[in-house]
Structure 1
């Protein structure tokens, strides 16, 4: 291990996701295990610019592995996008005798980390934490599994009402640029149709499919819609279109929104966060930097930041075919 690194900071940035606390816990306790000091940075890059630091030890992170959100708080920082803001951040790190940093977040977080590394050659390792699962180079991100389970549980409850009143429910889930949540939760919850930004199925096909479902004897239907789907300007417009062209159902809309980000992390997310947190510290102590720790085929993978932010994680479109087959 590289003994030059003694003080490691950790922060969460961007949108919160279940399992971030578990990742912080793993980073802090790994630091203790390897006789390093850990420092928490409140409110992501904005807290870094303002020097909002706190010393952390093994007891500081007790009883948080099961907590959603992030106790270090999170924020988006416009100031960090400026050269002056990043200079303030660097000065605070040096004044705090911090040797390296672990950042937990998504593509925006990693983009900032990569720029900061290029300017100051400061050792940074990233951990992917976002419910959207839209980071290249890792099969799963922290929070994605929990969000899936939250969505499936919500749709299960909505279906009870749909069945009771012969209704068609459009359920909007998060995923501005990625349909992972919609596709997997849709299959898991038995949705009749799944609309995602990666595949434009078209309004006419949707109407034909719903009409066919009605003719086959279905008295209610669930359509899962990713918020980034392009069939309509928004889910309310899509609902109006269905009402105008299909009178077989009473159409209702449910937007799950930020409900999907909250809640206690699943066991999978807790284990994933723990694995990535430990490896992030070990990578820094081995002299590695400017990369993300992810998981590929259930094995830990080291992915350069540039690759992690180069594009979206590839969606398994085979699942769409499966969804079509089993939704008849």
Structure 2
């Protein structure tokens, strides 16, 4: 290949810029031209494509978000829309595409591959819900953002002797809540992968109160339900003063951690290597600190799972 493209799609995540930088510089190192597609698949269809040089990706490794921007695109879900996208790529002689994003982005990459245009997926999402990789780009940064919030909220919870419910992002996955809850010393962690009993949540709070505990932190993954509603139920049942903090999109922003910058650099470069080897329809990842790649369709067919041992440990340590 002599020309490849790169785009970001779906929700932004810290480290996407580092991945873009790696794709561009790895390709140029191998004398391959790189074209940035702006506004995700919507920009692909409308032809918002620009050749990127080394300097275009300078000073972005530390920036959150994505310099290529991102957008939702219903038109791309149709075969006609995807064919229009390929037509735009063919006009510029682009022969392969790196897609950085989550499972929806992967599905677009797979559809393009099925139409004969080779794509490689790079996992970029704070949700950490992509099978075939231990970690996704942005998860570590979002995790540290949540932990920082938990630490600060705990100070207030202690001072006012309150119960705090903290709702975190993650869509249908509980990784962010589980890791943050364990690292933040939460008394209860509610995730969508494990059924919970509100009676047991309340019973644990009561047991803690009986032994003199004055405050508690409950971390709720958004996939479980509304943290506000859960907070109301707890206060109504226990009569403990309860407050709710919904962290929201603050979790998606910020300068990426060193871990995310390195992960993004490694995965972005590996995606280029696969395209140069003539391999499309792949998804890159990291397992046991080793780079791997899988058939992207195989990844899409798998179901995300949570680390049950870690969840059990959180239960044991929060007695």
TM range (shorter): over 0.9
Q: Look up the SS of the partner of 2:304 in the other structure.
A: coil
Name the counterpart of 1:212: 207
Contact 1:148 1:181 in 2 (8 A): yes
Name the counterpart of 2:233: 241
Q: Output the CA distance in 2 between the equivalents of 1:22 and 1:228.
A: 29
Contact 1:100 1:123 in 2 (8 A): yes
5 Å-filtered alignment, 1:298-317, equals 298-317=289-308
Contact 1:136 1:307 in 2 (8 A): no
Say whether residues 1:22 and 2:13 are aligned partners. no
**Structure 1 stretches of 5 or more lacking a match?**
none
Q: Deviations over 1:277-325 (max 9, x none)?
A: 1111111101111011111111110111112212333211111221122
Say whether residues 1:203 and 2:198 are aligned partners. yes
- Among 37, 44, 47, which residue is 1:48 paired with? 44
Contact 2:137 2:263 in 1 (8 A): yes
5 Å-filtered alignment, 1:1-328, equals 5-119=1-115, 121-229=116-224, 233-247=225-239, 249-328=240-319
> Displaced runs of 4+ in structure 1, greater than 2 A?
311-314
How far apart are residue 175 of structure 1 and its match? 1.7
**Structure 2 stretches of 5 or more lacking a match?**
none
Q: Look up the SS of the partner of 2:50 in the other structure.
A: strand
TM-score when scaled to structure 2? 0.98
Q: Output the CA distance in 1 between the equivalents of 2:190 and 2:106.
A: 28
User: Aligned pairs, how many?
Assistant: 319
Contact 2:17 2:63 in 1 (8 A): yes
Contact 1:137 1:294 in 2 (8 A): yes
Q: Output the CA distance in 1 between the equivalents of 2:171 and 2:276.
A: 36
Contact 1:142 1:272 in 2 (8 A): yes
Q: Look up the SS of the partner of 1:309 in the other structure.
A: helix
Q: Output the CA distance in 2 between the equivalents of 1:298 and 1:78.
A: 36
Q: Look up the SS of the partner of 1:300 in the other structure.
A: strand
TM-score when scaled to structure 1? 0.96
Contact 1:131 1:261 in 2 (8 A): yes
Contact 2:193 2:305 in 1 (8 A): no
Q: Look up the SS of the partner of 1:228 in the other structure.
A: coil
Structure 1 vs Structure 2 CA RMSD: 0.9
